[in-house]
Homo-oligomer: A and B are copies of this chain.
Amino acid sequence: MVTALENDPDYRQLLRDAGLRVTPQRASIVTILSETDDHPNVEDLYEKARALDDTVSVATVYRTMSVLENAGLVRKLVMDDAPARYEMTPPTDHDHLVDVDSGDLVEIPGTEIAELMGRVAAELGYQIVSHHTVIRARKT
């Protein structure tokens, strides 16, 4: 069930804090993205957003995701052979594992990976902006 937009001042504020205008389209998209547990691609978002607000266009979904990614509110997950998926930037970092047989996307909990990467980047004289790991694996 999707919460009525009027009851979600949170997301509106999130947008404002990022210096972005709060449009109904953006509100719908962010609401959907916040309330889902999976990692939708643009098509998913477009369809669900349309159900809330039938003025949303695909182009706007793309533009919104780009803008949100830039603002650091959203993370883009680039897949090997499928359209990109998105998730709200998670409070606790995690990486992803794709089940090559079923296509499932599993979150890898914990910060071990992130910590190691930070250390490794530091050794090379770099500071991490973002990192993205996708493991392709098969159930044992």
Report, as a range, how many residues of chain A touch the other chain: 20 to 34
In the bound complex, CA of A7 to CA of B14 (Å): 62
In the bound complex, CA of A139 to CA of B121 (Å): 9
Chain B contacts for A108, CB-based, 8 A: 120-121, 124
Tell whether A125 is near chain B: CB-to-CB under 8 Å.
yes
0/1 interface trace, chain A 102-135, chain B, CB 8 Å (1 if under): 0000101010110011001110111111111111
Tell whether A10 is near chain B: CB-to-CB under 8 Å.
no
Task: Give residues in A with beta carbon < 8 Å to B.
Answer: 76, 78-80, 97, 99-100, 106, 108, 110, 112-113, 116-117, 120-122, 124-140
Q: List 15 A-B contacts (CB under 8 A).
A: A76-B80, A97-B121, A100-B129, A106-B126, A108-B120, A116-B116, A117-B133, A122-B140, A125-B139, A125-B140, A126-B139, A130-B136, A131-B135, A132-B133, A132-B136
